[in-house]
Each structure stands twice: as structure tokens, then as C-alpha cells.
Amino acid sequence: MTAGTAGAAHTQRIREFKMPDVGEGLTEAEILKWYVKAGDTVADGQVVCEVETAKAAVELPIPYDGVVHALHFDEGTTVDVGTVIIAVDTDPGAGPVGEAPGEAAAPAEEDDAEPQGRQAVLVGYGAAPSSTKRRARKQQPGVPAQSEPVTAGLQAELNGHSAPAPAATPVAVPVAPAAPAAVVPVAERPLAKPPVRKLAKDLGIDLATVVPTGPGGVVTRDDVYAAAAPAEAAAPAAPEVAVPTAVAPVAAFDAARERRVPVKGVRKATAQAMVASAFTAPHVTEFITVDVTRTMKLVQELKQDPDLAGLRVNPLLLVAKAFLVAIKRHPEVNAAWDEATQEIVYKDYVNLGIAAATPRGLLVPNIKDAGAKTLPQLASELGELVATAREGKTSPAAMSGGTVTITNVGVFGVDTGTPILNPGESAILAVGAIKLQPWVHKGKVKPRQVTTLALSFDHRLIDGELGSKLLADIAAILERPKRLITWG
């Protein structure tokens, strides 16, 4: 059997499974748990691991039958989409797996030819790990070959520092004594992404002098800014020095009494989304305090209703129904802003999001076409949605396409708040704690069940009058829930 045939057979026998894009264009996922180990037998469709993306935790099935040959990453590792995470021997009866012919010679040929061991990755998600090693440019006809010092000089220019003087005799590069001197600068080249390299060049910072803090010794943007801070402090322009100097007190940390937790997965995505929403959509928040005594009595009656037997009936259910009826009366609030076309998109459906606190962070799954559902249907889907979210099993599809959201801060004993819009949505309603308070009812001060509602909305889509009418209608329904019938 020829070396080429043996290599092909080896490749067909060991099947590699790459991290898929499990959630609408996400670029990475964290491996939470492996359900198999090297040597375990697996079958097509068997779940081998659980990963967490920026949206949810997802279980990944293996598409091969065979024996696990290798797990390429440990639990807790964040892996780019398109990277091989597990290898499976699909023909374990053929004996031990050896090195494919020709692999040992590959490193020596990598500088002159295209590497044969490169693994394809998904378009738009960066290069595979092996692509970090550059191969030499092919010589063009009629163009003299460049020496290794010249290449190192060009690379030095990209890194932001001056290029070394060119060697007097380019022919000396292949000679054994000169080879190590040409290779060392490439091997010790600081690790940084192209935008970071450009930033360092713009600021006049030599990446070789920057202390990296990123994973694997990668230089980050903050590292470059930190290296630039001393230079700015020494500059004569005093007004510009004030901002960096105020941010600098890094030495104030007491490591013995502090702990650090990396922000990733759902928490990282939530933080980024909230910052983007707060500084993109102009928020307006309005408040109203309302007597919900009649609503609380209706909740108790519905719990005894045979049509709702086995369903979770609580004040949130009627708040959700009141929100949907109010939107039906004011359909213009159910809209989205299209930044690309500078248009307002009005929607004839309501996907009602419910903010749920989970061990992995805040999740906002939504009930599709909630406005078209009956009260028992809404109760059923609301119960399933919250239960699934708390178990961390919410799918990315369940969290996409929301139009408005409810957040129930009252369960924590909080009276009210100023909620931030879920990105892409027009409004979010915060429901405060329902408490027994003195209230003027029929001309007399009596103890009544009272709560405060807060409605935040995107002022590009909803003006003050429309937002006020929406909130007033929600309060009116909760004050007299029979309006669910007359208005619905």
C-alpha cells in the first residue's frame, strides 16, 4: 500500500467532530461537561458533551459510530466554532491507530509548501490553530527572492517598531550559522490580533515591550493602552493626561480577600447586550402605582377553575394578559428600529419575553404569538418557559425574535426599577412587589393590595403620549380585571 493510500485510509478511519455553530452566528462556546472519555464506545446521535454559548446550554450529539480516540479540550475551555473538539476511531477492529504516513515529514516541508494537516474552519470564524504558522511566499517570475531578514523587517514594521538593517549578503540565509538568527525573531513574536497590532502601531508602542494578560500570552487592547499610559503621562499635554491617570490605580487590589470570576457565556452576552441597548436605544421610563386587589382576588378564583387545573396561575399570568390586551389597543408600540434602512418595522405579532434569573445568568425566552393565545394556553407556556430557563435548557431559538418583555422584580421584594430594553425590542414592563398598603378606596382609607409598574420604552419608536397610554391601560386592567373581557 502506498503512502498516499495509507494516509487516506488513516484520515477516513479517524473522524473529527468540530464545534458547530449552535446558535445563530455565535463564534465560540464553552465546554461545560464531557459525557465520554478516550476509549469509550459511542453511537451516531449519542450526546457526548454539553456546551454553553452566549445564549444557552446545548447538548452536542456525535454523528459517528466508533470509539473515542481523543478529547482535544478539557471541561471549562472556551473553543472557537469550527475547531475540532473530539476524534472518533470509526474502525476500532483494525488495530491500534498509528501515525499516518508522511506526517512526520510535514513540519520540515511546512516552510516551502502548503501544510497538509490544516483543518478547514467555518467561513467568518477565523483560521484553524495550525494557520498561525506562516509559510514563505512563493517566488514570482522575474522578482528576486527576498531574504529572511527582509521578511523579518516587514514583520517588524507591522508590529509597530523599526525594521532591522538588511543583511549585506542575502545568500547567507541558507547557511547553518545564519539560520537560527533569522528564525528567533519569528518564534518570539508577540501574540496579538491584527486590530491590536494596528492600535500599537498607531500609538507608537512596541509590542515586544508590552506585558500580555490575555489567555495564552496574547496581548490585548487593554495591555496596549496600559503600556501607552506612562508615555502619555510624560507628555507635556496636561489636559489629556487626566483621564488615563484617573483609571490607573491597579495596585489597590487586595488579592488575599478578593476573588475573580471570568465573565463568559450567557453572563458575558447579557452584559454586552445591556451596554449596547443602554447606549443605542434612547430609554424613557414611566411609573404608575395601582390598586390590584381585584386582580389578586381573581387569581385566587382562577386557581379553583377546572379549566386551569394543573396549570400555574399567579399574578404574573394576569399581568402578562393585561400587557397583551394593552398592546392590542395600541399596536404601534409593537415595533422595531431597523438601523440599516432607517425604518420603523411594525409587527403584527407579539413575542412576549419573560426575564428569568438562572444560575448561568439572566435569560429572556419568549412566548411566540402570545397575543393570539387563550389564558390557559398562556399559563401553560409561561410555566414551561420559566421551568426550562431555570434548568438551563432554553434553546437559542426560544430567546430570539422577542418584541416586548416583562421582568418581575417583585419576587425579590423590590418595589420597582428602571429596566433596560432587551436589544431589538420596543418596551419592557417591570412589575414590583404587591404589598398591603393604606389606600383611598371609595372615599375611605383602607388596606389594599398595591404595586408599582415601570415601563421603559424606545423613544425612537414610542413617544411619551403613546407610552403613557400603554402604561395607563395596563394599570386600568389590573385595577379592574373585568376589562380583560370588555377590552380583549
d(C-alpha 27, C-alpha 21), whole Å:
7
pLDDT tens across 318-340, in order? Answer: 999 999 999 999 999 999 999 88
Cell matching residue 4: 498516499
Residue 95: give its domain's CATH number.
2.40.50.100
Judge contact between 342 and 352, C-beta under 8 A.
no
Q: Are residues 175 and 92 in the same domain?
A: no
Domain count, the chain: 3
Q: Are residues 202 and 327 in the same domain?
A: no
Active-site annotation holder among 69, 283, 441, 459: 459
Confidence at residue 184, expressed as pLDDT on a 0 to 100 scale: 40
Domain hosting 70: range is 3-132
pLDDT tens across 90-103, in order? Answer: 888 777 766 444 44
Average the pLDDT over 215-244 and give the result: 66
Q: Are residues 371 and 473 in the same domain?
A: yes
Is residue 120 helix, strand or coil?
coil
Cell matching residue 258: 478578593
Q: Which of 426, 418, 78, 84 shows the shortest CA–CA distance to 266?
A: 78
Sign of CA dihedral 22, 25, 30, 36: positive
d(C-alpha 467, C-alpha 458), whole Å:
9
Q: Are residues 243 and 100 in the same domain?
A: no
Q: Is residue 256 a part of any domain in this protein?
A: no
**Beta 218-219 vs 191-192: how paired, if at all?**
parallel
DSSP code, position 63? -
Judge contact between 451 and 433, C-beta under 8 A.
yes
Q: Is residue 142 a part of any domain in this protein?
A: no
Q: Are residues 81 and 199 in the same domain?
A: no
Q: Is residue 254 a part of any domain in this protein?
A: no
CB hemisphere CA count around 303 (13 angstroms): 10
d(C-alpha 150, C-alpha 186), whole Å:
12
Q: Is residue 195 a part of any domain in this protein?
A: yes
Q: Are residues 163 and 300 in the same domain?
A: no
Q: Are residues 67 and 165 in the same domain?
A: no
Q: Are residues 210 and 347 in the same domain?
A: no
Residue 356: give its domain's CATH number.
3.30.559.10
Q: Is residue 59 a part of any domain in this protein?
A: yes
Assess whether pLDDT exceeds 80 at residue 31: yes
Judge contact between 324 and 352, C-beta under 8 A.
yes
Local confidence band at 130 (pLDDT 50, 70, 90 cut-offs)? very low
Specify the pTM. 0.54
Q: Is residue 143 a part of any domain in this protein?
A: no
The yes-or-no answer on residue 459 being catalytic is yes
Assess whether pLDDT exceeds 80 at residue 72: yes
pLDDT tens across 379-407, in order? Answer: 999 999 988 888 878 888 888 899 999 99
Q: How many CB atoms lie within 10 A of CB 200?
A: 28
What's the chain's length in residues?
Answer: 488
Q: Are residues 57 and 200 in the same domain?
A: no
Assess whether pLDDT exceeds 60 at residue 48: yes
Q: Is residue 58 a part of any domain in this protein?
A: yes
Average the pLDDT over 137-142 and give the result: 48
Q: Are residues 59 and 126 in the same domain?
A: yes
- Largest CA-CA distance found in the chain, in angstroms, rounded: 102
Q: Identify the bridge partners of residue 84 per DSSP, sorted by sequence position.
A: 18
Q: Are residues 106 and 172 in the same domain?
A: no
Judge contact between 374 and 386, C-beta under 8 A.
no
Q: Which of 107, 132, 157 represents a domain boundary (last residue)?
A: 132
